[in-house]
Amino acid sequence: MKINLIKGDITKMKVDAIVNAANSSLLGGSGVDGAIHRAGGSSILEECQQIRNKQGKCKTGEAVITNAGNLPAKKVIHTVGPVYQKGESNEKELLVNCYKNSMLLAKENGLHSIAFPCISTGIYRFPKQIAAEIALSVIKSNPILDEVIFVCFDNENYTIYKNLLSYE
Ligand code: AR6
């Protein structure tokens, strides 16, 4: 399994699946969620609404899959990261679940490449260094896809990932 790092906008990625750092409503928000819905168009939100009608909200750590509308990716996997409180509310385990469940959902749907944003490290305030260590260790211990790309939007996350990957 290849692991790559890119600094940029995940909505531009031509991969089988991009992952959205959504919220449990699945009905959009700001940050990367807003960017994906803006660039992808209304068909993504329509499918999110259908999923809501069927299963209700998406729990923290879980993931669902939709079309990717106008995006170059084939599918969008929406996962709900934990809101970081003090690190005493199972946040680490829930973040592990986000990465694990997104990879499993991609595999179940016959997808081979996946691009992740730095889930929970924006509005949900998860400490970036710890979040990156978690992301890398989950991906490395679950090598079930051909390619994983980490797409860092901000310099701080990019530097953290670059340093972690260079120690391999
Ligand atoms: N491409 C890649 N990464 C991005 C992009 C982009 N276009 N835009 C922002 N990021 P956040 P969260 C990075 O806040 O912390 C939403 O309102 C950003 O720099 O998007 O999981 C949802 O609806 C940061 O590193 O997600 C939820 O309510 C990372 O994406 C809530 O925010 C995650 O930041 C989820 O909060």
- 33 flagged as catalytic: yes
**Closest ligand 1 atom to 119 CA:** 21
Compute, in angstroms, the gap from residue 145 CA to the centroid of ligand 1.
23
pLDDT of 167 higher than 90: no
- Token pair for 62: 């879980």
pLDDT in tens, 122-164: 999 999 999 999 999 999 999 999 999 999 999 999 999 999 9
Strand partners, 149: 4, 115
Where on the phi/psi map is residue 134: left (φ > 0), alpha (ψ -120 to 50), or beta? Answer: alpha
Prediction pTM value: 0.98
pLDDT at 68: 99
Q: Which domains does the chain have, with CATH numbers?
A: 2-166 (3.40.220.10)
* C-alpha to C-alpha distance for 116 and 135, rounded to whole angstroms: 9
* C-alpha to C-alpha distance for 80 and 163, rounded to whole angstroms: 26
The average confidence (pLDDT) of the chain is 97
**Closest ligand 1 atom to 21 CA:** 21
Catalytic residue among 16, 33, 146, 154: 33
pLDDT in tens, 68-103: 999 999 999 999 999 999 999 999 999 999 999 999
Compute, in angstroms, the gap from residue 16 CA to the centroid of ligand 1.
20
Work out the angle at residue 154's Cα, subtended by the Cα atoms of residues 1 and 31, and round it to the nearest 5 degrees.
95
pLDDT at 168: 61
Compute, in angstroms, the gap from residue 32 CA to the centroid of ligand 1.
4
Q: Which of 124, 19, 121, 117 is nearest to 74 (CA)?
A: 19
* Percent with pLDDT over 70 in the chain: 99
